[in-house]
């Protein structure tokens, strides 16, 4: 019977498809959870490590490649350094995808999310001389009382001043602002036709510095409660708003720049509030700009700045954890940190490297000074979208209501804390 | 006559019908107005590309300082050199990935879509009607809402971040099956029947009689698939993570979305964008006529 | 046997059991097997990579899953409708973001669909003027952006719409100081009201900012598209109009010449001819273009990704992007899947609308075919 044979064959085809389907599903891309504190997997023979970094430019990329190549040569392993164009997105997907790179830059603000999700391998106990790191940095990378990963380096925010524009406005070294009012006054003086006084990033990563100077902050010192609506914070935002309102300060996007450093380098802004990383880009992209770096002006409650750091994250799912830890120890050794500092301007995360660094880079004293009173980022799991929402509010600060912006953050942050 | 009427009718109706009513045509002023309009509109459509091309040969300050100028001053190849120097990514590799994935996907689509379209149109088997309705339903599913689950499936079957995961899921597309089915519905069955009577099997008939006949539809499908998979962004975004699997479009998007102090660097970004556009542009100008037809067919299908 | 079939059926003739007559009975051997064999690649690929994901999406949207472990083997907590609740009911950031994305997309669709349809129709009419030479060149120019990558085009527009970019430079020639486009989060309606002196955008009326619904204030709801989103609107209209132009063009060229000539003989003006003769003939295509536009615009993603995920101030955030970000960036895959599923419902509703319209179109195509045959016969 033809029809029955046809039917039978159809059934066979269907079964075959089904079998294919189930076979494919059996592949099982998921394995269970991150064993974040088990002993490292030891293995013999050379291993091939994969590293993912976010680079500020060719200088940083080349320096990291050189440093890892040196380690690879002595250890007999290989390291494949990849530069992420969008590390947040690429790492997030890599963790969920189950095959993350072995070792990667981990931003302080993203760290708690990764740690909470069990994506990170906690190797703090295997780091050479862990107490040599600045305590503030070490605590930034501690989650659930566990020190997870070695701080790569750190940076602080300071004030960059274009010397030529400064002189042209009739200002002298004595005019370098040390208070908010002075900052506002010089910014106004520096604002001319095509030049804006101050370029400031439109995110909490810059604007929070004023809150610190006002004696406020988004969270309490121990990070347990949200204190965004405190009057000190309102005062800080009101001040920034007043500068934005009269045009003596502008956000980079208004200046057609990707970030304040670009506006500063191009001479569209006479001052910028950026961190150590601005040095590398000035050197590479705008070598002719003559500038100096000063500490941020003090606010009503004294000096204040923000502290940025990243750590060398190692994936919980990495199969080369022992080798990765070894590489991190090599990269965070004093000489390597100084080499990185020379190449792209970050500051060593080890206190034992401080003296040598200051000696080598006297012009960085404003950045180094910030290390004394700098405040680390708000880092709690689940806060990324809350902080992003705050940034959204800050982008509209020029016409927005500081109180409303802070109140909205307070509400969302409290909800996220639960 | 075995020419597919539905397809050719469309093609000829698109062809310009110049000069039919030239005698006693409209007055000069109207004509001048028409041309002025056309030229203005054409400028709106051509100038952005011209600016793009010019800007890739500019320096950063020149690009931001003279955004409208079509003459780079000074002329520099810096952006292109930087693009291929390797510091912003391995563009030759991305190009290879794009070509490899596009060619394989296109070949797969042309073959599997016509197989399925033929079966749905000609072969009589149980469940055919239901299957075709399922194809229609699937065509309506918008791709962007399935990003998370598609990622999960790829992970589950172990194809995440592999070429197989970038290619196999795209190898059949419902819209292509639909186009082929419509095509076969419109052509005569007599030649195939002759072949079958001569003793050729179903596949043999399909391969050596039907497919050669289907050339116009196959060209349309090839072009649609080529353009679609070359320009594909969201699917590859969730199907891959490593640089080794990055396509040109993906690299371009990341180059542009990455914030890390890289600045605006428009000459570089526009050069990368131009580089990613060139292959499709070449295919477009070579097969313009088919593109036009494809747009209309694809449109009817949604 | 007629071998010209212009009716383009969208249904399959019912399967006829063997022996119920018809030609070629003998050569149908083995068709059942071959049929399934032929369609099996399609069944497998579409099944595994389209059907299964849809079911998975629904399942994951009921979970609290952070991307670690398997969502199918107890690696995630089942939370029922909690994710939907947090998007629609619970007062919080998740709902606010979702509502913002819906608001943005609504305004986006409201501007893109009419504008792109009007431009496409306009281009088609212009290109269809028979007395103009070089029309195929212009047609190519208008259509070209449609075939290029949206990612590449967006980068070009990011450049053109910079604050001191080409567009603002052009505007400055006619004495207009252009806005900061992609950096400007102000709502279009808010700006307009401010310009008219109705409100002060720096201190909007308390009645509007003081209260609202679904996590957004009334002031936020009625903002209109932001200036940045308008730049995206221009970009998309410019890019897609070419495709729709081709559809209009095909329809325009199908209008029998006699109809137009008859109108001309009656001494009707050009505009009246267009309004009362041409436009009614274009009705089906017009409907098609409108519904296709509706469906396409709700899916906008690429441009948002390139603008940095909703910048400025989340005014370009869309549901498609929000779903992606919630999953892959915030590690909240359950919520992301829930957003995707709701977007799915919206688009499916619009698609059903399109199907409904298309059903009419088939009938029209049939008529058109018959007319073409008649015309052919007349010419002979």
Whether B252 and B293 map to the same domain: the answer is yes
- Answer whether residue C23 shows pLDDT above 70: no
Whether the bond into A86 is cis, omega within 30 of 0 = no
Whether B140 and B256 map to the same domain: the answer is yes
Residue C94 neighbours by CB under 8 Å, 6+ apart: C86, C87, C326, C335
B141 touches chain C (CB under 8 A): yes
Statement: A156-307+379-417 belongs to CATH 3.40.190.10: yes
- Answer whether residue A237 shows pLDDT above 90: yes
In this prediction, residue A94 carries a pLDDT of: 86
C118 touches chain B (CB under 8 A): no
Contact list, A99 vs chain B (CB under 8 Å):
160-161, 241
B168 touches chain C (CB under 8 A): yes
- Answer whether residue A114 shows pLDDT above 60: yes
Q: How far apart are CA B247 and CA B97, in angstroms?
A: 5
Residues across chain C: 380
Is residue B12 included in any domain, yes or no?
Answer: no
Partner residue opposite B161 with nearest CB, options A83, A85, A97: A97
A258 touches chain C (CB under 8 A): no
Q: How far apart are CA A381 and CA C50, in angstroms?
A: 33
Contact list, A83 vs chain B (CB under 8 Å):
89, 243
The answer to whether A258 contacts B161, with C-beta atoms less than 8 Å apart, is: no
Contact list, C321 vs chain A (CB under 8 Å):
none
The answer to whether B67 contacts C14, with C-beta atoms less than 8 Å apart, is: no
Task: Report CA-CA distances (Å) from A230 to A216, A218, A301, A387.
Answer: 7, 8, 14, 17
Whether the bond into C13 is cis, omega within 30 of 0 = no
C355 touches chain B (CB under 8 A): yes
C45 touches chain B (CB under 8 A): yes
In this prediction, residue C359 carries a pLDDT of: 67
The total of structural domains in chain B comes to 2
Residue in this structure with the two tokens 């005019």, named with its chain if needed: A175
Is residue B100 included in any domain, yes or no?
Answer: yes
In this prediction, residue C10 carries a pLDDT of: 43
Q: What does R_g of chain C's alpha carbons equal in angstroms?
A: 26
Whether B63 and B187 map to the same domain: the answer is no
Predicted TM-score (pTM) above 0.80: yes
In this prediction, residue B20 carries a pLDDT of: 42
Q: How far apart are CA A242 and CA A238, in angstroms?
A: 6
Contact list, A109 vs chain C (CB under 8 Å):
none
Read off φ and ψ for residue B73, nearest 5 degrees. -145, 105
C328 touches chain B (CB under 8 A): yes
Is residue B14 included in any domain, yes or no?
Answer: no
Tokens describing residue B33 = 């107005």
CATH number of the domain that residue B273 is part of: 1.10.3720.10
- Answer whether residue A183 shows pLDDT above 80: yes
pLDDT tens sequence across B56-88:
999 988 888 888 999 998 899 999 998 888 777
Q: How far is B103 from chain C (nearest CA, A)?
A: 17
The answer to whether A281 contacts B257, with C-beta atoms less than 8 Å apart, is: no
Question: Which of A97, A110, A203 has the most B C-beta neighbours within 10 Å, making it the best mutation to test the interface with B?
Answer: A97
In this prediction, residue A210 carries a pLDDT of: 95
Q: How far apart are CA C157 and CA C171, in angstroms?
A: 16
Of the pLDDT bands very low, low, confident and very high (cuts 50, 70, 90), residue A376 is confident
Partner residue opposite B119 with nearest CB, options C38, C158, C309: C38
Whether B64 and B163 map to the same domain: the answer is no
Contacts across the A-C interface (CB distance below 8 Å): 126
Is residue B230 included in any domain, yes or no?
Answer: yes
DSSP string, C275-307: IIIIHHHHHHHHHHHHHHHHHHHTT--HHHHHT
Is residue B16 included in any domain, yes or no?
Answer: no
Which whole number is the average pLDDT over B12-31? 49
In this prediction, residue C26 carries a pLDDT of: 56
Are residues C290 and C135 in contact, defined by beta-carbon separation less than 8 angstroms?
Answer: no
Whether B68 and B103 map to the same domain: the answer is no
Q: How far apart are CA C308 and CA C305, in angstroms?
A: 5
Whether B72 and B190 map to the same domain: the answer is no
B207 touches chain C (CB under 8 A): no
Helices (H), B173-265: 174-186, 190-197, 202-205, 211-213, 215-231, 234-239, 248-257
Domain containing B158 equals: 89-301
Q: How far is A225 from chain B (nearest CA, A)?
A: 31
Which whole number is the average pLDDT over A3-23? 42
Of the pLDDT bands very low, low, confident and very high (cuts 50, 70, 90), residue C284 is confident
B263 touches chain A (CB under 8 A): yes
B70 touches chain C (CB under 8 A): no
The answer to whether A32 contacts C44, with C-beta atoms less than 8 Å apart, is: no
Contact list, A395 vs chain C (CB under 8 Å):
185, 311-313
Read off φ and ψ for residue A216, nearest 5 degrees. -105, -145
Of the pLDDT bands very low, low, confident and very high (cuts 50, 70, 90), residue A238 is very high
The answer to whether A257 contacts B263, with C-beta atoms less than 8 Å apart, is: yes
The answer to whether C147 contacts B55, with C-beta atoms less than 8 Å apart, is: no
- Answer whether residue C280 shows pLDDT above 60: yes
Domains and CATH numbers, chain C: 106-187+224-318 (1.10.3720.10)
Task: Report CA-CA distances (Å) from B80 to A60, B55, B59, B97, C23.
Answer: 21, 11, 11, 20, 65
In this prediction, residue A315 carries a pLDDT of: 94
pLDDT tens sequence across B118-177:
999 988 888 899 999 988 888 778 888 889 999 989 988 889 999 999 999 999 999 899
Q: How far apart are CA C183 and CA C39, in angstroms?
A: 50
Q: How far apart are CA B297 and CA B220, in angstroms?
A: 9
CA torsion A241-A243-A246-A249 (nearest 10°) is -120
Q: Is A364 helix (H, G, I), strand (E, B) or coil?
A: helix
- Answer whether residue C105 shows pLDDT above 80: yes
pLDDT tens sequence across C34-81:
888 999 999 999 999 988 998 888 999 999 887 777 777 766 788 989
- Least CA distance to C39: which residue of chain B? B116
Whether B149 and B256 map to the same domain: the answer is yes
The answer to whether A256 contacts B264, with C-beta atoms less than 8 Å apart, is: yes
Whether B39 and B69 map to the same domain: the answer is yes
Domains A48-154+308-375 and A156-307+379-417 share a fold: yes
Q: How far apart are CA A389 and CA B44, in angstroms?
A: 37
Give the range with max mean pLDDT: A160-169, B25-34, C126-135.
Answer: A160-169
Question: Where a domain ends, among B37, B53, B76?
Answer: B76
Contact list, B251 vs chain A (CB under 8 Å):
85
Of the pLDDT bands very low, low, confident and very high (cuts 50, 70, 90), residue C12 is very low
C345 touches chain B (CB under 8 A): no
Read off φ and ψ for residue A81, nearest 5 degrees. -90, 120
- Answer whether residue A205 shows pLDDT above 70: yes
- Answer whether residue A41 shows pLDDT above 70: no
In this prediction, residue C320 carries a pLDDT of: 94
Whether B194 and B280 map to the same domain: the answer is yes
Instruction: State chain C's mean pLDDT as an integer.
Output: 82
Question: Where a domain ends, among B45, B76, B107?
Answer: B76
Is residue B56 included in any domain, yes or no?
Answer: yes
Is residue B176 included in any domain, yes or no?
Answer: yes
Is residue B235 included in any domain, yes or no?
Answer: yes
Whether B240 and B94 map to the same domain: the answer is yes
% of chain B at pLDDT higher than 90 = 40
The answer to whether C312 contacts A253, with C-beta atoms less than 8 Å apart, is: yes
**CATH number of the structural domain A48-154+308-375:** 3.40.190.10
Whether B95 and B55 map to the same domain: the answer is no
In this prediction, residue C64 carries a pLDDT of: 87
Whether B245 and B272 map to the same domain: the answer is yes
Q: Higher-confidence residue: C91 or B2?
A: C91
In this prediction, residue C18 carries a pLDDT of: 42
Which whole number is the average pLDDT over B220-230? 91
Q: How far is A113 from chain C (nearest CA, A)?
A: 8
C47 touches chain B (CB under 8 A): no
% of chain B at pLDDT higher than 70 = 85
Contacts across the B-C interface (CB distance below 8 Å): 355
Task: Kindly list the domain boundaries of chain A, sorted by start residue.
Answer: 48-154+308-375, 156-307+379-417
Q: How far apart are CA C380 and CA C378, in angstroms?
A: 5
Partner residue opposite C70 with nearest CB, options A30, A113, A392: A30
């Amino acid at each position: 019977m033809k029809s029955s044979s046809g039917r039978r064959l159809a059934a066979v085809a269907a079964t075959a498809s089904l079998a294919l389907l189930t076979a494919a599903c059996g592949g099982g891309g998921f394995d269970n959870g991150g064993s974040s504190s088990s002993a490292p997997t030891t293995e013999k023979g050379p291993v091939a490590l994969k590293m993912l970094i976010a680079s500020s430019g060719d200088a940083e990329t080349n320096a990291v490649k050189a440093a890892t190549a040196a380690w690879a040569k002595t250890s007999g392993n290989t390291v494949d350094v990849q530069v992420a164009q969008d590390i947040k997105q690429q790492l997030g997907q890599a963790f969920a995808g189950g095959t993350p790179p072995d070792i990667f830059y981990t931003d302080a603000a993203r760290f708690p999310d990764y740690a909470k999700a069990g994506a990170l391998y906690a190797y703090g106990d295997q780091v050479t001389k862990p107490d040599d790191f600045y305590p503030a940095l070490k605590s930034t990378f501690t989650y659930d009382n566990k020190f997870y990963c070695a701080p790569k380096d750190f940076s602080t925010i300071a004030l960059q001043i274009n010397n030529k524009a400064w002189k042209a406005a009739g200002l002298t070294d004595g005019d370098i602002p040390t208070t908010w009012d002075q900052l506002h006054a010089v910014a106004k003086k520096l604002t001319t036709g095509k030049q804006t006084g101050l370029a400031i990033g439109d995110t909490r990563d810059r604007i929070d510095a004023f809150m610190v100077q006002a004696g406020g902050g988004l969270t309490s010192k121990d990070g347990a409660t949200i204190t965004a609506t405190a009057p000190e914070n309102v005062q800080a935002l009101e001040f920034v708003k007043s500068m934005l309102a009269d045009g003596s300060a502008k956000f980079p996007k208004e200046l057609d720049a990707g970030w304040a450093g670009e506006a500063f380098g191009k001479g569209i802004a006479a001052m910028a509030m950026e961190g150590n990383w601005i040095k590398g880009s000035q050197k590479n992209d705008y070598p002719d700009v003559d500038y100096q770096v000063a500490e941020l002006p003090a606010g009503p409650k004294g000096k204040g700045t923000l502290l940025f750091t990243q750590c060398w994250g190692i994936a919980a799912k990495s199969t080369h954890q022992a080798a990765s830890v070894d590489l991190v120890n090599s990269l965070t050794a004093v000489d390597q940190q100084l080499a990185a500092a020379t190449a792209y301007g970050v500051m060593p995360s080890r206190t034992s490297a401080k003296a040598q660094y200051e000696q080598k880079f006297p012009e960085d004293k404003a950045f180094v000074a910030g290390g004394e009173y700098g405040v680390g980022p708000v880092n709690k799991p689940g806060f990324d979208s809350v902080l992003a929402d705050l940034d959204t509010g800050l982008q509209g600060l020029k016409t927005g209501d500081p109180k409303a912006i802070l109140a909205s953050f307070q509400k969302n942050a409290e909800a996220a804390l639960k | 006559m075995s020419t597919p009427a539905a397809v050719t009718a469309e093609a000829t109706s698109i062809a310009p019908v110049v000069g039919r009513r030239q005698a006693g045509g409209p007055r000069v002023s109207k004509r001048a107005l028409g041309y002025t309009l056309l030229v203005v509109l054409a400028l709106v459509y051509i100038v952005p590309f011209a600016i793009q091309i010019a800007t890739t040969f500019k320096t950063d300050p020149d690009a931001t300082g003279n955004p409208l100028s079509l003459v780079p001053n000074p002329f520099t190849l810096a952006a292109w050199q930087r693009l291929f120097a390797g510091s912003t990514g391995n563009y030759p590799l991305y190009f290879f990935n794009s070509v490899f994935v596009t060619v394989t996907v296109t070949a797969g689509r042309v073959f599997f879509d016509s197989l399925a379209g033929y079966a749905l149109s000609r072969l009589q088997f149980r469940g055919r009607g239901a299957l075709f309705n399922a194809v229609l339903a699937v065509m309506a599913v918008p791709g962007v809402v399935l990003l998370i689950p598609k990622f999960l499936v790829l992970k589950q079957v172990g194809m995440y971040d592999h070429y197989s995961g970038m290619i196999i899921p795209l190898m059949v597309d419902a819209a292509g099956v639909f186009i082929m089915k419509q095509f076969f519905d419109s052509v005569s069955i007599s030649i195939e029947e002759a072949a079958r009577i001569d003793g050729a099997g179903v596949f043999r008939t399909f391969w050596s009689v039907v497919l050669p006949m289907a050339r116009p539809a196959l060209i349309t499908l090839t072009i649609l698939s080529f353009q679609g998979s070359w320009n594909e962004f969201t699917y590859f975004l969730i199907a891959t993570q490593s640089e080794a699997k990055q396509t040109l479009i993906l690299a371009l998007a990341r180059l542009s979305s990455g914030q890390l102090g890289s600045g605006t660097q428009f000459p570089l970004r526009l050069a990368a964008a131009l580089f990613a556009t060139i292959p499709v542009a070449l295919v477009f100008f070579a097969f313009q006529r088919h593109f036009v037809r494809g747009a209309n067919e694809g449109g009817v299908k949604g | 046997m007629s071998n010209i079939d212009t009716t383009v059926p969208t249904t399959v003739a019912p399967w006829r059991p063997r022996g119920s007559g018809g030609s070629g009975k003998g050569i149908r051997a083995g068709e059942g097997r071959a049929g399934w064999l032929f369609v099996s690649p399609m069944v497998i690929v579409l099944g595994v990579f389209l059907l299964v994901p849809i079911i998975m999406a629904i399942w994951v949207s009921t979970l609290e899953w952070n991307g670690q472990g398997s969502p199918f083997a107890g690696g995630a907590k089942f939370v029922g409708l909690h994710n939907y609740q947090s998007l629609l009911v619970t007062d919080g950031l998740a709902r606010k973001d979702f509502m913002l994305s819906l608001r943005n997309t609504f305004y986006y669709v409201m501007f893109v669909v009419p504008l792109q349809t009007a431009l496409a129709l306009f281009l088609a009419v212009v290109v269809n003027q028979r007395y103009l030479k070089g029309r195929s060149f212009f047609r190519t120019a208008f259509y070209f952006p449609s075939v290029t990558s949206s990612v590449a085009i967006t980068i070009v527009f990011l450049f053109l719409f910079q604050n001191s970019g080409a567009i603002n430079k052009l505007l400055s020639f006619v004495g207009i100081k252009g806005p900061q486009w992609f950096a400007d989060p102000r709502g279009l309606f808010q700006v307009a009201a401010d310009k008219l002196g109705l409100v002060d955008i720096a201190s909007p009326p308390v009645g509007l900012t003081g209260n609202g619904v679904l996590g957004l204030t009334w002031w936020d709801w009625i903002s209109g598209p932001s200036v940045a989103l308008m730049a995206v609107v221009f970009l998309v209209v410019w890019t897609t109009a070419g495709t729709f132009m081709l559809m209009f063009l095909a329809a325009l060229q199908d209008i029998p010449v006699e109809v137009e000539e008859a109108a001309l003989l009656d001494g009707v003006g050009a505009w009246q001819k267009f309004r009362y003769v041409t436009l009614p003939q274009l009705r089906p295509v017009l409907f098609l273009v409108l519904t296709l536009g509706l469906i396409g615009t709700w899916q906008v993603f690429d441009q948002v990704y390139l603008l940095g995920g909703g910048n400025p101030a989340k005014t370009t955030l869309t549901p498609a992007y929000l779903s992606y970000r919630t999953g892959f960036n915030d590690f909240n895959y359950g919520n992301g899947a829930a957003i995707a599923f709701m977007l799915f419902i919206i688009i499916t509703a619009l698609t059903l609308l399109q199907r409904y319209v298309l059903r009419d179109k088939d009938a029209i195509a049939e008529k058109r075919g018959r007319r073409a045959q008649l015309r052919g016969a007349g010419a002979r």
